């Protein structure tokens, strides 16, 4: 029996030993760092597999913003990873979750200084970097800590600017001068940057009129291969649009623009500036995201007919203004883009006016619309009318998401009607739709 056990064990070991490298790497791919390190101790082949480049190309490093023993090793493990496998890294995401005090931001800054320094020396293949929601204008970021972090980040970007294609600094909330200093690091080696995707949403602090800054326009002029640009409307100016048209016409295909109520958005942009950009960048599509900017007179200053708008999102959250009406926007403004609109998202409190007819007419008039999401006070029959129009071939929706607000705590009647509608159009919904519809008490 002992000899048979030894033979069986030897046979089992030989099977693992002969496992193809591609299969072994796949097994390692599913393991966490701790399990990978343990598996690497099994044999020489497994140890070599541990250092396969494709296991370490993508990495998300998360730092907790709360003091905790369980999170004490986060900073040390991040440095361990970069020193050991940083040379293989191609896509890096760093998260710093809601820092609690200046002690933690200081620790994060010191760790990032070592991490970025090590990575800058060993890595020559980083393609994308994402560090979101730092909120550097918060009080927990003391001036000296913030300045040191920006210095480390800028120096690192100079090192990797030659091959970095994607940079996401959403929510950094910097001053104009600091923000431009960081961005200019991407053009350090050649006085121009060939990054293809840039996310600058909330990159600058609120209330800043970035559009009036010559420094920002000069910084953006260094980018020559942008394909996707995301930024706030308080950065948009005639000068910026002209710069984008001159330097990125052959590559630019998407601009995402966020307009927030707390950002300055009263600047005058000429329609001819948008028309000129759209002419040079023939494949350009623009997506607008409005946060509590809902009044018709404000929207008409921004949504000019010369803009090739692909999607519009209008969100007022739960704020209600009896003097505000959504009707002119639905009947006069948005139909301007009926030939280009593909996505519509609405979240507003229209308790004071019914908009079912206007919304349905807008959906039917937009010939390319495939995505429609709305949270509002609606009649349940509004959903049935959309499904009926879809069945008759009058619209081509692929996604329908509806939250029907009610003024009652109980939604039993609405739920029953929605179940009946689903049963009636079940075949249509199950075969053609990403469908989600509920009734929601809005008290």
Residue 11 has pLDDT above 60, yes or no: no
The pLDDT, as a whole number, for residue 67 is: 59
For residue 349, name the pLDDT band (cuts at 50, 70, 90). Answer: very high
Average pLDDT over residues 111-136: 95
For residues 281 and 245, the answer to whether their CB atoms sit within 8 Å is yes
The pLDDT, as a whole number, for residue 65 is: 62
Average pLDDT over residues 113-134: 95
Average pLDDT over residues 159-173: 96
49-63, 233-247, 288-302: least confident range: 49-63
For residue 140, name the pLDDT band (cuts at 50, 70, 90). Answer: very high
Spell out the domain ranges in the chain: 17-55
The pTM of the full predicted model, rounded to 2 decimals, is 0.91
For residue 5, name the pLDDT band (cuts at 50, 70, 90). Answer: low
How many beta carbons lie within 10 A of that of residue 45, not counting itself? 14
Average pLDDT over residues 259-279: 96
Q: Give 91's strand partners.
A: 58, 128
- Cα–Cα dist 135/205, whole Å: 8
The pLDDT, as a whole number, for residue 23 is: 87
Cα first-last separation, the chain:
75
Average pLDDT over residues 111-126: 94
For residues 50 and 86, the answer to whether their CB atoms sit within 8 Å is no
Average pLDDT over residues 23-30: 88
Average pLDDT over residues 230-242: 98
The pLDDT, as a whole number, for residue 31 is: 87
Percent of the chain residues past pLDDT 90, beyond the cut: 75
Which one is predicted more confidently, 104 or 9? 104
For residue 70, name the pLDDT band (cuts at 50, 70, 90). Answer: low
The pLDDT, as a whole number, for residue 9 is: 52
- Cα–Cα dist 383/393, whole Å: 16
40-44, 144-148, 219-223, 353-357: least confident range: 40-44
CATH topology of domain 17-55: Monooxygenase (1.20.1280)
The pLDDT, as a whole number, for residue 192 is: 79
Sign of the Cα pseudo-torsion (148, 152, 153, 157, in order): positive
Q: What is the 3-state secondary structure (H, E, C) of the chain?
A: CHHHHHHHHHHHHHHHHCCCHHHHHHHHHCCCHHHHHHHCCCCHHHHHHHCCHHHCCEEEEEEECCCCHHHCCHHHHHHHHHHHHHHHCCEEEEEEECCCCHHHHHHHHHHHHHHHHHHHHHCCCCCEEEEECCCCCCCCCCHHHHHHHHHHHHHHHHHHCCCCCEEECCCCCECHHHHHHHHHHHHCCCCCECCCEEECCCCECCCCCHHHCHHHHHHHCCECCCCEEEEEHHHCCHHHHHHHHHHHCCCCCEEEEEEECCCCCCCCCCHHHHHHHHHHCCCCEEEEEEECCCCHHHHHHHCCCCCCEEEEEEECCCCCCCCCCCHHHHHHHHHHHCCCCCEEEEECCCCCCCCHHHHHHHHHHCCCCCEEEEEEECCCHHHHHHHHHHHCCCCCCCEEEEEEEECCCCCHHHHHHHHHHHHHCHHHHHHHCEEEEEEEECC
Average pLDDT over residues 367-394: 97
């Amino acid at each position: 029996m002992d000899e048979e056990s030894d033979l069986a064990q030897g046979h089992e070991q030989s099977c693992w030993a002969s496992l193809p490298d591609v299969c072994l790497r796949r097994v390692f791919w599913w393991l966490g760092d701790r399990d990978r390190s343990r598996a690497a101790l099994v044999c020489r082949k497994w140890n070599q597999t541990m250092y396969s480049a494709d296991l370490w190309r993508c990495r998300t490093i998360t730092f907790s913003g709360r003091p905790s023993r369980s999170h004490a090793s986060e900073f040390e493990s991040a440095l361990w990873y970069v020193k050991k496998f940083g040379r293989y890294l191609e896509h890096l995401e760093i998260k710093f979750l809601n820092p609690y005090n200046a002690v933690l931001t200081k620790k994060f800054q010191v760790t990032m200084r070592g991490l970025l320094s090590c990575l800058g020396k060993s890595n020559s293949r980083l393609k994308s970097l994402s560090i979101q929601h730092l909120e550097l204008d918060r009080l927990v970021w003391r001036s000296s800590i913030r300045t040191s972090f920006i210095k480390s980040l800028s120096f690192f970007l100079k090192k990797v600017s030659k091959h970095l294609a994607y940079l996401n600094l959403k929510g950094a909330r910097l001053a104009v001068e600091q923000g431009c200093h960081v961005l200019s690091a991407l053009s350090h080696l050649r006085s121009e940057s060939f990054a293809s995707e840039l996310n600058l949403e909330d990159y600058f602090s609120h209330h800043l009129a970035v559009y009036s800054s010559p420094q920002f326009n000069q910084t953006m002029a260094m980018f020559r291969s942008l394909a996707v640009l995301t930024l706030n409307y308080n950065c948009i100016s005639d000068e910026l649009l002209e710069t984008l048209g001159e330097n990125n016409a052959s590559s630019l295909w998407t601009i995402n623009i966020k307009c927030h109520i707390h950002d300055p958005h009263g600047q005058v942009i000429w329609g001819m500036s948008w028309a000129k950009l759209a002419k040079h960048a023939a494949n350009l599509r623009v997506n607008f995201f409005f946060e509590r900017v809902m009044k018709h007179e404000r929207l008409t200053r921004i949504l000019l007919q010369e803009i090739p708008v692909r999607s519009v999102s209008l969100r007022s959250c739960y704020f209600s203004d009896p003097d505000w009406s959504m009707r002119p926007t639905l009947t006069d403004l948005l139909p301007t883009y009926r030939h280009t609109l593909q996505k519509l998202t609405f979240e507003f409190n229209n308790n004071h006016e019914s908009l079912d007819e206007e919304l349905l007419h807008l959906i039917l008039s937009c010939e390319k619309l495939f995505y429609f999401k709305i949270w509002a006070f609606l009649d349940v029959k509004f959903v049935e009318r959309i499904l009926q129009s879809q069945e008759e071939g009058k619209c081509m929706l692929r996604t329908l998401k509806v939250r029907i607000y009610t003024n009652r705590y109980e939604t039993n009647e609405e739920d029953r009607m929605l179940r009946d509608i689903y049963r009636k159009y079940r075949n249509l919904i199950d075969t053609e739709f990403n469908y989600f519809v509920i009734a929601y008490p809005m008290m």
